[in-house]
Amino acid sequence: MSAERTDPYRGFRFHVEIDDLIVGGFSEVSGLEVEVRTEEYEEGGVNGFVHKLPTRVQHPNLVLERGLTDSTVFWDWIEATTSPPVTRRNVRVLVLDSLGQETWGWECREALPVQWSGPTLQADQGTVALESLELVHRGISRMRPP
């Protein structure tokens, strides 16, 4: 009896979609996390453990990083956030398999930019100039492949 081997997906094969915006390739995505906060409850007469009850779900900010280009999509979005109406967008992060097919994915609902960071410029370095966009959102959900 032989079992089919399934290798883990590689962290460098992914792409990001932001609603209808074309934003180019990303070098890094961080903040794909879910934390369930708990509250401790000490029950009288139970000395072997303390109950930990779930209270609230928390999501850190999503941070998207990419090489600086002529595209002003990030800058325009954060600039538009400073005056009403504020535009929230759904952000999808999709992991690709070795054939380039979508496998895993997450959607951060109703994201809103809260920080844009421009590149660190150093004359003695030959690295790519990067910009990043930090987003708050209203929850993350798992996406099924098509």
**For residue 8, is it within any domain?**
no
Q: What are the pLDDT digits (tens) for 109-120?
A: 999 999 999 888
Q: Which of 9-13, 80-84, 122-126 has the lowest mean pLDDT?
A: 9-13
Separation between Cα atoms, residue 78 and residue 94, nearest integer Å = 23
Q: For residue 117, what are the domain limits? A: 14-143
7 belongs to a structural domain: no
pLDDT score at 41: 93
Residue 88 lies in a domain: yes
Is 76 part of a structural domain of the chain?
yes
What residues contact residue 115 under an 8 Å CB cut-off, 6+ apart?
Answer: 61, 78, 132, 133, 134
Per residue in 85-111, pLDDT (tens digit) is: 998 999 999 888 888 888 889 999 999
Q: pLDDT digits over 15-70, tens only?
A: 888 886 767 778 899 999 999 999 999 999 888 999 999 999 999 999 999 888 88
Residue with more model confidence, 109 or 72: 109
Distances (CA, A) of 116 to 80, 81, 119, 135: 12, 11, 10, 9
CATH code for position 88: 2.30.110.20
Confidence of residue 145 (pLDDT cuts 50, 70, 90): low
Q: Quote the CA–CA distance of 10 and 14 in Å, as a whole number.
A: 9
pLDDT attached to residue 9 = 67
Place of tokens 């690709």: 96
Cα separation, 94 vs 104, in Å, equals 6
Domain count, the chain: 1
> Helices in 63-116 by DSSP H: which ranges?
73-80
Residue 96 maps to a domain:
yes
Specify if 82 maps to a domain. yes
18 belongs to a structural domain: yes
The span from the CA of 133 to the CA of 113, in Å, is 7
Let me know if residue 84 belongs to a domain.
Answer: yes
Neighbours of 14 (CB within 10 A): 19
